[in-house]
Structure 1
Amino acid sequence: MNKKIVFALVLMGLLAISAANAQNSLILNNNNDDSMFQVSLMQAFMHGEYDGVITVGDLKKHGDLGLGTFEGVNGEMIVLDGVVYQAAADGSINVMNDNEKIPFATVTKFDEDGKIENINANNFNDLTSQLNKEIEKYGTNNMYVIKIKGDFSNITVRSVEKQEKPYKEFTDVAAVDQKVFNHTDQTGTLVAVYFPEYMKELNMHGWHLHFLSDDKTKGGHVLGFNGFKGTGQIDEIHDFNMILPTDDSFKTMNFTENMTSKINSVE
């Protein structure tokens, strides 16, 4: 065979391989941008699994929007625009350094798939009912993260004091060490995470909301509010990745108990 023909065939083959690799790389990158990344199980957290699994620095590689907590349940986590904030038990808001450890969190690389204009919600249940109607347009069997910005007549949030070993279950923590704050006339952002019913063994079914004020002085896990007006940006999620604890307590933990009622009681 002519050497020029052989060279041309080899070159064509290399170009085809390169194009295929580029396409596969693009697909993988798209999947990563449309993925929910979770640290540990909600059920393990409810049982008292509060030791850190990864660091804040590692978490930021997997997402720029989400929620969670810090080692020992040291306050509530709000991840917004790539910054990891702590709503501490004393009511303060802190930017956490990359070395802080995380026992539980859920984040995504936010990619807007839709908008919700002119939200008017009387209270928490009114808002989540409206959000349910919105995601019905996409499919309630997907996961969602919604960034909701606007004004609140008042909003009630909580944080939790850092726990020391031996850790107690989170229902007991919430009963004793929960700190509740009520704020009036607030402008800020809700980070709303949704998991479908069939994933309730991994996380809580439905909506989990954390709040951060625009001036970065108030925030926490949302217990309730009255009078909200604002807008929302929806990210529809189709991919799920999770990292689990490696300590002995997790390896031997009993997950046969139905934790739904306990989860609902603290949400």
Structure 2
Amino acid sequence: MLNKKLLLISIFIATLLTIAAVNADEKLLMPDDSMHQVSLMQSFMHGAYDGVLSVGELKSNGDTGLGTFEGVNGEMIVLDGNVYQARADGSVHVMPDNEKVPFATVTHFDNDANINNISAKNFDDLTGKLDNEIKKYGKNNMYVVKIKCNCSNITVRSVEKQEKPYKEFTEVAAVDQKVFNYTNQTGTLIAIYFPEYMNEINMPGWHIHFLNDAKDKGGHVLGLTIENGTGQMDEIHEFDMDLPTTDTFKNMDFSEDMSQKINSVE
């Protein structure tokens, strides 16, 4: 009788483990619907430029997105699972997994909708058209949009690596920002949207980086004119974040309204 009970218990446990394994496999196959952020935009603006995660850890949380590197060492473009650095000298490099990341926003991109025939005469024209697209789905969601396009001209910036003691980012952008204007570039725009109610976490509205097809030009987009753009949009409903563990962050004063400073550098 005892052996029979042990056999039944063993079968029951084996069944539970099988169900758990199947559920885990199904979860792995499901689209990831989360936005993963490293640190706060507000702490970054105050000068929190020390790395929080490695590039390798960041890639496990997403294959598409944008950000920067430790010490604000250039602009980050995450595309197709690769992490690119657009440096202040205008060059572009694939970054190793051990490089540190102080601020970034990434997702495992899942195409929820297509946007065809995208043309824009300037930055505001493009973001206005993107605003019209997301109104179809709800302005209070988060979105990542990838746009393949031809840029008759595009202006991007990058930033020189900072050394401690770190300056606030408004001062960094005023002193150590390098601006590049390119013509006749084909490439990809990575556009990330946060709704207004998340303005204490990230910048509300659109934040856009660019990487050309040759992978030798890119950066944070300041202005552009594009033709023949084709977009893919990921509508996102979940959010998670890694915060810094430094004493500087733990004691940082977040009472200041940073919205004007953020807008001034974006």
Query: Given the alignment of the two structures, is residue 19 of structure 1 paired with residue 19 of structure 2, yes or no?
Result: yes
Structure 2 Cα separation of the partners of residues 24 and 59 of structure 1: 22
Structure 2 Cα separation of the partners of residues 14 and 51 of structure 1: 47
Q: Deviations over 1:125-155 (max 9, x none)?
A: 1111111111111111111111100101100
Aligned length: 266
Partner amino acid, structure 1, of 2:173: A
CA contact (8 A) 2:147 2:232 kept: yes
- How far residue 30 of structure 1 moved from its aligned partner, in angstroms, is 3.3
Partner amino acid, structure 1, of 2:139: T
Structure 2 Cα separation of the partners of residues 55 and 29 of structure 1: 25
Q: Which residue of 1 aligns with 2:257?
A: 258
Unaligned runs of 5+ in 2: none
CA contact (8 A) 2:149 2:226 kept: no
The correspondence of residues 89-168 of structure 1 with structure 2, limited to 5 A, is 89-168=88-167
Match of 1:61, SS state, is helix
Partner amino acid, structure 1, of 2:162: Q
Q: Which residue of 1 aligns with 2:81?
A: 82
Partner amino acid, structure 2, of 1:218: K
Partner amino acid, structure 2, of 1:175: A
Partner amino acid, structure 2, of 1:189: T
Q: TM-score, normalised by structure 1?
A: 0.93
Taking structure 1 as reference, are residues 232 and 6 closer, same or farther at Cα in structure 2, changes over 3 Å only? Answer: same
Structure 1 Cα separation of the partners of residues 194 and 27 of structure 2: 24
Structure 2 Cα separation of the partners of residues 20 and 90 of structure 1: 51
- How far residue 18 of structure 1 moved from its aligned partner, in angstroms, is 3.4
Match of 1:119, SS state, is strand
Structure 2 Cα separation of the partners of residues 64 and 9 of structure 1: 43
CA contact (8 A) 1:123 1:228 kept: no
Match of 1:51, SS state, is coil
Q: Which residue of 2 aligns with 1:193?
A: 192
Q: TM-score, normalised by structure 2?
A: 0.93
Structure 2 Cα separation of the partners of residues 156 and 18 of structure 1: 54
Identity over aligned residues, as a percent? 67
Q: Which residue of 1 aligns with 2:204?
A: 205
Match of 1:38, SS state, is strand
Runs of 4+ in 1 over 6 A off after TM superposition: 3-10
- How far residue 228 of structure 1 moved from its aligned partner, in angstroms, is 3.0
CA contact (8 A) 2:196 2:205 kept: yes
CA contact (8 A) 1:153 1:228 kept: yes
Match of 1:185, SS state, is strand
Q: Which residue of 1 aligns with 2:72?
A: 73
Q: Which moved more, 1:119-128 or 1:242-251?
A: 119-128
CA contact (8 A) 2:157 2:177 kept: yes
Structure 2 Cα separation of the partners of residues 124 and 257 of structure 1: 28
Q: Deviations over 1:216-266 (max 9, x none)?
A: 111000000124331000011111110000111000000011111100000
